[in-house]
Amino acid sequence: MEHTDTPPALTTLAEDEVLLRDSVAEFAEAQIRPLVREMDEHATFPKELLAKLFDLGVMGIEIPEQYGGGGARFFHSVLAVEALSAVDPSVGVLVDVQNTLVVNALLRWGSDGIKQRYLTRLAADTVGAYALSEAGSGSDAFAMAARAVRDGDHYVINGRKLWITNGNEAGVFIVFANVKPDAGYRGITAFVVERGVTGFAVGKKEDKLGIRASSTCELILEDCRVHESQVLGEVGKGYKVAIETLNEGRIGIGAQMIGLAKGALGHAVQYAKERTQFGKAIAEFQLVQGQIARMATEVEAARLLVYNAARLRDAGRPFLTEAAMAKLYSSEVAERVTSLAINLYGGYGYVKDYPVEKLWRDAKIGQIYEGTSNMQLVTIAKQLLG
C-alpha cells in the first residue's frame, strides 16, 4: 500500500507528544536524577525504579491497548527515550530496547498466541532483550554459531550470545539461531525464549566504560528446548526479522544520543552562567559563546535527523538511509558535545562529582552498538550508489 500522507513538521509536536515528553522528563528529574551516581558506580539498576517505569507506561508505549499497552506511535517511543537519556542514558537504552527492538519485533512478526502471551507481560512487568550478537559475529551478524535442531515439536538450541542489553533484568528474550547452517543466513530463525527454561542461563555481566547501570550480559544456551510455537515469524526468516527490527532500533539509539547530548549541553550552559573567571561569568567570553552555539546547532541538527527517520517510519515510508544517517550523526554529535562540555567545566568536568564526565563515557557506545558507524556509512553509500 502506497502512503502519500506527509509527516508532520519535524519540530512541531502534537499535544499528546508534548504531554508524553514533558511527563517523562519530569519523571526523570524527580525519580532518576537522585540515583544516577549510585547506579553508575555500582553498575546496578534498582528494581524499584524498574517498577516505576512500568507504572509510568514507557515500557509498553506501542503495545496495543488490548494487551495493556499505551497504543501510541513509534515517535512517542523516540520522545520517551530522548527525555530519559538526558538524565541517564542507561535508563534510556533499557526503555529503547524494550520498545524499538523487542516490542516492535513481536508486533510485526509474532503469532496471535505469542502476542497474547508476551505483549501483556511486557506492558505490565516484564523486561525484554534482543539476543543477536555473538563473540564471532558482530557487524557480520549472520556469521553466528548458535544452532537450533528440530526434535519433534521442539527445537533444541545450543550456543552463546554476547553483549545482550537488558540481559540481567529480562524475562523474555528474542534469540537468533541457525536451523540450517548449510543454507547460510537463510537458515537463521528467531525464537522467543523465556528466562528460566531448561538449558538457558544468563552468564557474565560485562564491566563497562559507560551506560554502566544498563546490564550487558552473556547468554548461555545448552540443549535449550523451545516449542515450535515459539518461533517468531517463519523458520529461516530470522535474518529478515533482525534486519528490519534493527533499522528501527537505530532510530532509538539516535534518540538516546540526542537526549544525552541535550543533557550535556544543558549542564554546560548552566555552568557557563555560574562559573566566574577574571571577574565575570565565562558565558560572557566569545570563545565560550561560540562553543556553546556550535554544540546547540549540532544537537538540533541531530534531533532533526532522528525525528525525520521516526516520522517516516510512522508514515509507512522507506527510512533505511535516514535511520542510518540519524544514528551515525547523533552518535558523533553526542561524543563531541559531551567532550566540549567537559572542556567548559575545566578540571571540574574531569571528576565524578559533576555530571558531564559520566555523559562523556556514556556517549562512546553510540558509535558501536546496533550497527557501528562504519556499517552506517556502508548502508548510506549503498543506498546512494545503488
User: CA gyration radius for the chain?
Assistant: 21
Nearest CA to 21 out of 73, 105, 79, 93 is that of: 79
Q: Which residue has the cell 516484564?
A: 126
b/e map of 71-80 (b: 16 or more CB within 10 Å)? ebbbbbbbbb
Active site residue 370: yes
Distance CA 31, CA 47 (A): 13
- Phi, psi dihedral angles at 111 (to 5 degrees): -70, 170
Please identify which of the residues 82, 218, 357, 370 carries the catalytic annotation: 370
Burial category of 374 from C-beta neighbours within 10 Å (exposed 0-12, middle 13-18, buried 19 and up): exposed
Task: Read off the C-alpha cell for 314.
Answer: 510512522
- Helices marked H in 204-351: 238-274, 286-314, 320-345
End-to-end CA distance of the chain: 24
What are 149-152's contacts with CB under 8 Å, separation 24+? 149/179, 150/179, 151/225
- Phi, psi dihedral angles at 137 (to 5 degrees): -140, 95
Q: What is the dihedral of CA 29, 34, 38, 39, to 10 degrees?
A: -30
Cα dihedral across residues 256, 258, 259, 265: positive or negative: positive
Catalytic residues: 370
